[in-house]
Structure formats: structure tokens, C-alpha cells
Amino acid sequence: MGLSRRRFTKEFKQAAVQRLEMGASLAEVARAFEVNPKVLHRWRREFRQGPGNSFPGLGKRRWEEGRVAQLERKIGQQALEIDFLKGCLQRIDEQRKLQALNGSPLSTRRSRPRRTEAKV
């Protein structure tokens, strides 16, 4: 028969890490809480990476730093696109105002209609 895996509550883990942070040795805390020192080391590392992110418990997902960074990049890219489009709209608006003042459409060489010659 295999041993069942022990589960520790968030409060238990926080108490162990708090004792480590107060200066107790890793071996001493491991003996007191009857936990492997490697597990304590992992709990402390998780806690230091982000107290809100550590020990999420059942049903709660950890903050994924990679996902957060990806979303921040996407927001930045979209902000650049919005700024670019605002500038384009501003230029179009200025051209329309000039067109209204002059009374004639602004045309360029490319926008002139082509002459069509009938083939005989």
C-alpha cells in the first residue's frame, strides 16, 4: 500500500514560513512542524515570490507571471495602435476641413480619373 499524500492548510504553511522569517533554523522548523526541509524551503521561496500568490489552496489558481506579462504587452500594443489610429483620424479630419474651406475636393495625381480612349 502506498502512503497518502499529506495536505497542509494555508495557515499551517504561513506559520512555518513566519517562523523561518523570524530567524529559526530550517532544521528546527522542519522538526517542529514534522515537514521535510526541502518542502519548507519551497514554501519560503513561494512566499517570497509574492505573498498574494503563495499557497493558493484548492480551486484558486496562482497568478501566472508569464500570462500577466503577455497581457501587459498586448495592452501596450493596443495602446500604440489606438494612438496611431487617432493620429490618422485627426489627419483625415484636417483634410476634410480644408476641403470644406476650399469648396473643391483635394486630389492627387493618383486620384485623377484616367482618360479612356475608344479603340477603333
Q: Choose among 58, 57, 65, 61: nearest CA to 13.
A: 57
Q: What is the 3-state secondary structure (H, E, C) of 55-99?
A: CCCCCCCCCCHHHHHHHHHHHHHHHHHHHHHHHHHHHHHHHHHHH
Cβ neighbors of 30 (< 8 A, separation 6 or more) are 36, 37, 40
pLDDT tens per residue, range 69-88? 889 999 999 999 999 999 99
The model carries a pTM of 0.45
Distance of alpha carbon 4 from alpha carbon 1, whole angstroms: 9
pLDDT on residue 62 = 58
pLDDT tens per residue, range 19-72? 988 988 989 999 999 999 999 998 888 888 776 666 766 545 556 667 888 899
